[in-house]
Copies of this chain bind each other. A is one copy, B any other.
Amino acid sequence: MLQSFNARTQEPFGAALAPTTAAELEAAIQAADHAFDTWQASDGNTRAKLLNALAEAIEYDREKLVELADAETGLGPVRLNGELDRTAFQLRRFATLAQNGGAFAFTDDPAVAGGPPVGHPHMMRVRVPLGPVAMFSASNFPFAFSVLGGDTASALAAGCSVVVKAHSGHLHTSQRVFEQAQHAIEKLGMPKGLLQMVQGAGNDVGVNLIKHPRIAAGAFTGSTRGGAALRDAARARVRPIPFYGELGSINPVVATPAALKVGGDALVQTLAGSITLGCGQFCTNPGLLVLQRSAESTEFVNHLVEALKTQKPHAMLTKAMRQSLDHGTAAQLAAGAKALLHNPVNDINPNPYLAEVDAKTFMAQHALQEEVFGPATLIVWTDSVDETLDVLHTVGGTLTVTLWGAEQESADTHRLVRGATAIAGRVLFAGVPTGVAVTAAQQHGGPWPSSTEPMTTSVGDAAVDRFLRPVCLQDMPAWLYKRQGQPC
């Protein structure tokens, strides 16, 4: 049986739930496959109707959902209400995208008379939905990256059905969201197979889900280790499928001494807030602070230590994550980092952690380059812009890089921008990396290990592209042409 826990007290929460059996998994996938049959040919208005109804459904049940999520995750009602708003916003945004034709865009290439290479027949490039998508929920976003999160919303907008694997960290929240979704789908008279949900551990459910021949793609938010295992299973299939994993990331913040001086205490407070926000349990948590040795940098760090001391992070999502945090900080210290703020405590609520290391040690020690999930940041001291660039190159892949102090064009800022874009999906020139806006221009996904598919994004409008494969229709008949690139 699967038992949920109260994040704050670690007491069992709610009834134990039965893991999905092999027969139930098969039935869920068959239902999703059957629903895909008609959904892949649905028009934008139909897709919008569903997505809008799902947004309404969670808003309508807000009170109970936030209560459940708060108990299971300890993230607090303010954050969770905000996350629910974001989730509804995202569902509606993909509704609008479907309605505006975003999933049906096509390139029409009229016939050109004559032989090759100039002449060619009539060709139209359309995009066809992949098929049922296996969606793996995240621990740290019980709404926005879970049952009705961005992966589900973008897959439904693309014309795919979805089988969600619920996260063990918030089973009752997932169950309630799923029930609300099922009611909404039923009320619209749409097939329940459009959204299915399964739960259970490891091979029994997750791996068998991604390996199932009827599953056409995977979407995942979570650890590098878990994501890599599922990615490998997706690739090892007789018919490999795309697997969109959004994994670990250390999100370097690079700051010039001048920028730190100008930013002053406001910047200190902003960064301290970002490090401890949600107990540091964000993919975009700033885990690395790359500073050039200088009086300004030293002063900033001293103030940062003071600011972090006053922060009291809330409980972590699970006991296992709480233990991982301790292991991660211990590994950093063992690898040569020096603690600036380190008050270990045997409690689900951790204390913020800050450590420092010189660039050469950072670059030599793999253990220092790994994500530590939680309110923990490592300062890397560099002696030059060259060394800062070497540090970024060593990081290799990250969701974000933040550059403070690139306001003026110069040879150095050119190089820093290039060094940052070379390894990140998003580069910020102000503010902090936490907070991932759901917009047309968002890119949430960078080179490995931050993503398994860095050419794609898991947040923002382009997330829908992950579930649409281009197909060229050559010399298509008139009846098909009239459908204007809609799949058959």
Contacts and interface: CB of A to CB of B under 8 A. Distances in A.
B414 A242 contact: no
A441 B487 contact: no
A123 B441 contact: yes
Given A118-B89, A477-B406, A125 B443 contact: yes
Contacts of A413: 479
Interface stretch (A27-35, A177-185, A267-275, A425-433): A425-433
Contact of A442 (B123, B409, B427): B123
A79 B287 CA distance: 58
Given A125-B443, A488-B421, A471 B427 contact: yes
21 contacts: A86-B116, A90-B117, A107-B440, A109-B442, A117-B438, A120-B437, A125-B441, A125-B462, A406-B480, A409-B477, A415-B488, A417-B480, A418-B487, A421-B471, A426-B472, A428-B475, A441-B472, A447-B469, A455-B469, A455-B470, A457-B470
Contacts of A442: 109, 123, 125, 472
A414 to B, nearest CB: 5
B470 A107 contact: no
A345 to B, nearest CB: 31
Contacts of A414: 488
Nearest to A416: B488
Contact of A439 (B85, B120, B415): B120
A55 to B, nearest CB: 11
Interface in A387-415: 396-397, 406-409, 413-415
Contacts of A107: 440-441
Name, among A116, A425, A441, the residue most crowded by chain B CB atoms within 10 Å (CB to CB): A441
A191 interface: no
A426 B462 CA distance: 23
Given A121-B437, A406-B477, A442-B472, 6 more contacts: A85-B116, A125-B462, A128-B422, A408-B477, A409-B477, A425-B471
Given A117-B85, A487-B421, A488-B414, A443 B429 contact: no
A455 B242 contact: yes
A424 interface: yes
A261 B144 CA distance: 56
A443 B430 contact: no
Name, among A421, A435, A438, A480, the residue most crowded by chain B CB atoms within 10 Å (CB to CB): A421
A240 interface: yes
